[in-house]
Structure 1
């Protein structure tokens, strides 16, 4: 069995042995890698949330503007009808009905919101001729439809977008 070498018999005496010293670097918190990554992530998240909030705010303003936009439309009936029934919307979800209406009937109505104008005309009993419904805005016909025969119904329906386009042109 061999005995351990004495400190003086090795390559380096104990007092001259190399020493490894670990020095902990004291960086400020904001220069540490973990903090920088977290800070970049947090700032990116804040930027994304702010961007989405701005987009959503713009969309909400556009919806509010559209909901409060008011337009005057003209409903009219043409053709041979002498005893027709007319149903049309007068508000966002409100309808009105006129009966015993003859061709040449027209009415100006203010509509508001997302709901597009709607007009339906039905020929009466013993009415075999044609009946035409028309919805106009700003002097332009947006939509029209014709039906023929006893109890025939012509319906005119449009969207709020069609109405806005008529006022933009």
Structure 2
């Protein structure tokens, strides 16, 4: 059968059934044991197992297989991470483009006041297109106030266009902090914080466009 354990007519038993037998295997058991004179019809069985060299080779191949699997998993994880990053970047770019187009025809200005107690007084001052307006809120019932104004985008571009935005908040007697904030087209352009009762937070922002 095989040169290193060939016994004519013997039943070969595989000690490592998960592997295919080849010439590198060796005999580990024999029945009946060698040295006896056997009758012609006496059944003989031998058990074969891989040599130490073969086992070392298998161990090496298994180790390499694990290394290859780890490398494949790492490459797949990197590919997925890069694809996710690309999708997020595209999503962010699309959102930014949508925001930009959103304000092509109209500017949105938001005055924001935040405190940890009712705000005593809020003053909003706006100057757009040569016209100035000022309003106040002295209801002293809310910790947070938001005032939103909208103007045509053309009011901020063209021949000598000047604008300014301002919000002033005074904290109440029980407040420890007050914050003002101005947002123009979804972006914070000014923010200030003051601390203590009756403290004031003032925010101002403006710009101009001169084309002759």
Q: Which has the higher contact order (CA 8 A, sep 6+)?
A: 1
TM-score, structure 2 as length reference = 0.39
**Bigger fraction of residues in strand:** 2
TM-score, structure 1 as length reference = 0.48
